[in-house]
Amino acid sequence: MENSANEAACHTGATRKSHHPERVKRDLTTRLNRIEGQIRGIKGMIDKDVYCDDVITQLSATQSALNSVAKILLEGHLKGCVVDRLSEGDHEVLDELVVTIQKLMKK
């Protein structure tokens, strides 16, 4: 799948926002909707007393899907927000990026 996360740009200033192209937003929304469905399915499995290993397998698949969303967002952040802020001389973005990556790696 082609993703253009590098077209995303963060706006600096008092309000921090990201701007993603509509097709990237649609892709992310589709992925998150699928993940939401997976979570509902897992809840149903718990209610139906499905074998634990099968539930864990679904949890693993859901975590992988969440990681994919995070990767797309991180790529856009790096290629857009971070590059822009560095070109403006804002090197604090690197400290922010380190914290963000540490959060992702805890998972």
pLDDT at residue 10, as a whole number: 60
Share of the chain above pLDDT 70, in %: 86
Length reported for the chain:
107
Whether 23 is in a domain gets the answer yes
- Output the pTM of the full model: 0.80
Whether 10 is in a domain gets the answer no
State the total domains in the chain.
1
Whether 51 is in a domain gets the answer yes
Whether 96 is in a domain gets the answer yes
Close Cβ partners of 3 (under 8 Å, ≥ 6 residues apart):
24, 27, 72, 75
Whether 91 is in a domain gets the answer yes
Whether 12 is in a domain gets the answer no
Q: State the residue range of the domain holding 79.
A: 17-105
Whether 75 is in a domain gets the answer yes
Whether 6 is in a domain gets the answer no
For residue 25, what is the domain's CATH number? 1.20.58.1000
Which pLDDT tens digit goes with each residue over 51-94? 999 999 999 999 999 999 999 999 989 999 899 999 999 999 99
pLDDT at residue 3, as a whole number: 43
Neighbours of 68 (CB within 10 A): 15
